[in-house]
Chain A
Amino acid sequence: MSYCKQEGKDRIIFVTKEDHEAPSNAELIADDPNDPYEEQGLILPNGDINWNCPCLGGMASGPCGSQFKEAFSCFHYSKEEVKGSECIDNFRNMQECMQRYPELYPQEEDKESSQAEASSSSVSAAPTEGSALPPETDSTPATSTSDSTSLIDNQTAS
């Protein structure tokens, strides 16, 4: 059973697992998903890409940032049947740029920097060779499929 003791101004409560089994009746205020102050996930409420999302790491801000932005934007707004199929050139530019900075964009199969493009990976079916875009799950851009190695802001809209 839980018990309680008071040490001056500090109160200490000890609880067992059973004590905490009943659901909490504490009330939390509902969140407004469009709150402009809140940290946003990868996709903003208006549909744009949040380039400042922590989940992207340094992708949008590094030396190849502009190429990455072009490629990813193209993919994001693509309305083709095979999403992003018209963006091959952009992705090629990006890859060429990244190859110039192997330190920043390591070229292994499952490198983290590619995780951000995992959501754009359906394009990888196209002839972009190299390991830059390994085919991962065909997820929507809203959920970044970055695995646990890159930290996602917990308030990512999903």
Chain B
Amino acid sequence: MLKCRTVWKKLAPLARASSTVCRQNVRRTGLTSSRIPACVPVAHMSTGPAGGGRENQLYILLVGAACVGGAIYTYRTVKGDSQRYQDRIEEISSRSYKRATAEPATPIQSEPSVILEPEPEAAPSLEPEAAPSLEPEAAPSLESEAAPSPEEPSPPAPDAEVAVPETTELPPGGPAPDSLKVPSHTPYLLIGGGTASFAAARSIRARDPGAKVLIVTDESDPPYMRPPLSKELWFSDDPSVTETLRFKQWNGKERSIYFQPPSFYINAEELNGAENGGVAVLTGKKVVHMDVRGNKIKLDDDTEISYDKCLIATGGVPRNLQVIERAGEEVMKKTTLFRKIEDFKSLDKVSRNVKSITIIGGGFLGSELACALGRRSTEYDLEVVQMFPEKGNMGKVLPEYLSNWTTEKVKSEGVKVISEALVKSVVCKDDKLEIKLKDGRLVKTDHIVAAVGLEPNVDLAKSAGLEVDSDFGGFRVNAELQARSNIWVAGDAACFYDIRLGRRRVEHHDHAVVSGRLAGENMTGANKPYWHQSMFWSDLGPDVGYEAIGIVDSSLPTVGVFAKATAKDTPKAATEKSGTGIRSESETEDTATSPVASLTLAPTVEQHQDEYGKGVIFYLRDKVVVGIILWNVFNRMPIARKIIKDGEEHADLNEVAKLFNIHDD
């Protein structure tokens, strides 16, 4: 403080001097015409020559010191940051070698490279193996633009240009497709053969007459729906269900999990010649490389297919627990990561042959499988255990009181629930698996089902130079599901911007249908954003069923409005009444009804203290309803959708709850 004052005292006269000189200069430069020179000497007199010299020296010294200090600081910051950046790159590259699946671009994206040019896309191209020419240094990001784009005289604008040169590094190789089967060009290419892809195919065909659509999937099955794999198929009476994959709906009609029978699709080789177009499915082929600039992809057998419009609907791969991965092959052989038809088949077989199955994971899939297997436990003398780190089933979705209530229901389905369980290690001993928990408990079982989440499949992000979201995972796309010109992403793999609810990534069936359909519409020129909110549902036993919409996260404040349930409020009754199939409203076909199975196995329903029999639960974010669960209340989804769409603040949510008429059937 004092120093400042002394310094100021010394500088003040100088300041005054310079300010007066400035003023005089201004006047001199022509604002007034007369008498100026007279003023000038006055200023100078206030500082004598000797004092002026010393003052000047001090002044120069101080300014000089400041400059040098500033320069040193800048230099060190920049150096330190580039060093930090280097370290981070190394860490990430070493990490990417450890991980089974290649996910190179993801972590780097988030790195706010302190680099002076804000070019986040520059980051993925700085992968160690990929771009040796690019230097991870502060300034030369400019150079890096020039270097790897030899073909194009560096266009100033697109940042993505930096990432794109990736693709040119790979040899164009024998572009001629070696097999006659596969067309070398298709107007519409859909990568991935799941729900989103099929919905897009249908949408494209509906809007573009005679469209030729090629679906490429690495699975061996044509597109099918997943919900029955953990619900309806388990309740089927048919012993050959694992072959037919058909399930009976409540109106007696059967349907297959396949969206369409094989005759719906045309053969890939006939696609180009088809007069009215069609949908062709190429199974057992994986897309390994995507050339965005050249608008073409390469399959694992080196076939190249070029496209006009492309949809990426690669879905995801089930996550595994690290403890299981590290536990060795013996343990892995007795572990199921449940997602596909073959997983259903193998788990069905296992469940008939073992004495005990443990499901790790307390979310949708884990709980549904637990209930399905629990239903079988009486038939097959099977012990079903479910363990998860949360306090209750659906702990991340339902508010605590409801999660606890649901857990009791799951237990009554014949499941042994172990909550607050963190798996420490798994070993295989005497042909049995021993799961040791962090709190010391030991669980012995024959088989493990890991339902601990989904890892979105973004393998193509690197070659395609597409952005991957760091918060939610998946490909980052805009509100119209577009990643780049001619490339859209839908389904589980899409992290999109929801105009109402913000950026998110949704892993539900109806979302796959809605987003797939929207992507198809936009691929045919609709330019519509994601607006129709998708819903999801789950059933846990015959007494607990709910439909939900929006953001349903148990960490949000909730308001639940409940009534007492009557016997009529069960999922089974609901579907019988409405005759609707899968409760997905975007489904186009008649589809399966609720999973509730034969009455013979109905567990003894104790409606004793059914406090949470039926009701509506609102999830709030900043006082606005962003999510709604309809708890054992069915066929009211349009109202819920409307409330979310409005995005209004409602003072009394009880009044809003009245709109649902929860007491009525």
Q: Which residues of A contact B (CB under 8 A)?
A: 2, 7-17, 19-20, 22-29, 31, 36-39, 51-52, 54-58, 60-63, 65-66, 69, 101, 103-104, 112, 147-151, 153-155
Is there contact, CB below 8 Å, between A17 and B663?
yes
Is there contact, CB below 8 Å, between B205 and A12?
no
CB distance from B273 to the nearest CB of A (A): 14
**B428 in the interface (beta carbon within 8 A):** no
CB distance from B4 to the nearest CB of A (A): 50
CB distance from A151 to the nearest CB of B (A): 5
- Known interface pairs A12-B562, A20-B657, A26-B658; 13 further A-B residue pairs with C-beta atoms within 8 A, sorted by A's residue number: A20-B658, A24-B656, A25-B655, A26-B656, A51-B206, A52-B203, A54-B587, A54-B588, A56-B206, A60-B205, A63-B276, A66-B210, A147-B579
Is there contact, CB below 8 Å, between A58 and B655?
no
Alpha-carbon gap, A154 to B580, bound state (A):
12
Is there contact, CB below 8 Å, between B579 and A149?
yes
**What residues of B have a CB within 8 angstroms of the CB of A2 in the complex?**
654
Alpha-carbon gap, A134 to B590, bound state (A):
19
C-beta contact mask, B576-606 vs A, less than 8 Å → 1, else 0? 0011110011111111000000000000000
**B354 in the interface (beta carbon within 8 A):** no
Is there contact, CB below 8 Å, between A17 and B400?
no
Among A7, A22, A24, A39, the residue within 8 A (CB) of B532 is A39
CB distance from A29 to the nearest CB of B (A): 5
Residue of B with least CB distance to A52: B206
Is there contact, CB below 8 Å, between B531 and A58?
no
Alpha-carbon gap, A57 to B588, bound state (A):
5
**What residues of A have a CB within 8 angstroms of the CB of B578 in the complex?**
148
Alpha-carbon gap, A20 to B205, bound state (A):
46
Is there contact, CB below 8 Å, between A63 and B278?
yes
Is there contact, CB below 8 Å, between A15 and B563?
yes
Alpha-carbon gap, A37 to B591, bound state (A):
26
**What residues of B have a CB within 8 angstroms of the CB of A19 in the complex?**
654
**What residues of B have a CB within 8 angstroms of the CB of A14 in the complex?**
561-563, 611
Q: Which residues of B contact A (CB under 8 A)?
A: 201-207, 209-210, 251, 253, 260-261, 263-264, 266, 276, 278-279, 399-401, 517, 520-521, 528-529, 531-532, 556-563, 578-581, 584-591, 611, 637-638, 642-643, 646, 648, 650, 652-659, 661-663
**What residues of B have a CB within 8 angstroms of the CB of A31 in the complex?**
642
**Most chain A beta carbons < 10 A, residue from B520, B584, B589:** B589
CB distance from A97 to the nearest CB of B (A): 9
Alpha-carbon gap, A13 to B654, bound state (A):
8
Is there contact, CB below 8 Å, between A12 and B251?
no
Return the 4 tightest CB-CB contacts between A and B, nearest first: A148-B579, A61-B205, A24-B658, A37-B531
**What residues of A have a CB within 8 angstroms of the CB of B588 in the complex?**
54-58, 150-151
Query: A12 with B563: in contact, given A60-B206, A151-B587 (CB under 8 Å)?
Result: no
Is there contact, CB below 8 Å, between A37 and B528?
yes
Is there contact, CB below 8 Å, between B261 and A15?
no
Chain A contact surface mostly: loop
Is there contact, CB below 8 Å, between B532 and A20?
no
**What residues of A have a CB within 8 angstroms of the CB of B611 in the complex?**
14
**What residues of B have a CB within 8 angstroms of the CB of A69 in the complex?**
209
Alpha-carbon gap, A104 to B589, bound state (A):
12
**What residues of A have a CB within 8 angstroms of the CB of B581 in the complex?**
149, 151
Is there contact, CB below 8 Å, between B587 and A20?
no
Is there contact, CB below 8 Å, between A15 and B585?
no
Residue of A with least CB distance to B527: A36
Query: A62 with B532: in contact, given A24-B655, A56-B588, A112-B590 (CB under 8 Å)?
Result: no
15 contacting pairs across A/B (C-beta < 8 A): A13-B562, A14-B561, A20-B563, A20-B657, A26-B659, A27-B648, A38-B531, A39-B532, A52-B207, A61-B279, A101-B263, A149-B253, A149-B579, A151-B589, A154-B638
Alpha-carbon gap, A118 to B253, bound state (A):
21
Alpha-carbon gap, A29 to B646, bound state (A):
6
**What residues of B have a CB within 8 angstroms of the CB of A24 in the complex?**
655-656, 658-659
CB distance from A4 to the nearest CB of B (A): 9
CB distance from B31 to the nearest CB of A (A): 60
Alpha-carbon gap, A36 to B480, bound state (A):
13
Is there contact, CB below 8 Å, between A62 and B264?
yes
**What residues of B have a CB within 8 angstroms of the CB of A51 in the complex?**
206-207
**What residues of A have a CB within 8 angstroms of the CB of B656 in the complex?**
24, 26
Is there contact, CB below 8 Å, between B400 and A10?
yes
**What residues of B have a CB within 8 angstroms of the CB of A12 in the complex?**
401, 559-560, 562
Alpha-carbon gap, A28 to B646, bound state (A):
7
Alpha-carbon gap, A22 to B652, bound state (A):
14
**What residues of B have a CB within 8 angstroms of the CB of A56 in the complex?**
206, 588
Alpha-carbon gap, A37 to B101, bound state (A):
38
**What residues of A have a CB within 8 angstroms of the CB of B521 in the complex?**
52
**What residues of B have a CB within 8 angstroms of the CB of A22 in the complex?**
658
Alpha-carbon gap, A150 to B556, bound state (A):
36
CB distance from B403 to the nearest CB of A (A): 10
Is there contact, CB below 8 Å, between A150 and B589?
yes
Alpha-carbon gap, A14 to B656, bound state (A):
14
Is there contact, CB below 8 Å, between B586 and A11?
no
Alpha-carbon gap, A27 to B654, bound state (A):
12
**What residues of B have a CB within 8 angstroms of the CB of A25 in the complex?**
652, 655
Is there contact, CB below 8 Å, between A149 and B563?
no
**What residues of A have a CB within 8 angstroms of the CB of B655 in the complex?**
24-26
**What residues of A have a CB within 8 angstroms of the CB of B520 in the complex?**
52
**What residues of A have a CB within 8 angstroms of the CB of B261 in the complex?**
103-104
Alpha-carbon gap, A23 to B578, bound state (A):
25
Is there contact, CB below 8 Å, between B648 and A58?
no
Query: A38 with B658: in contact, given A60-B206, A151-B591 (CB under 8 Å)?
Result: no
Is there contact, CB below 8 Å, between B264 and A153?
no
Alpha-carbon gap, A107 to B185, bound state (A):
36
Alpha-carbon gap, A22 to B655, bound state (A):
9
Is there contact, CB below 8 Å, between B201 and A61?
yes
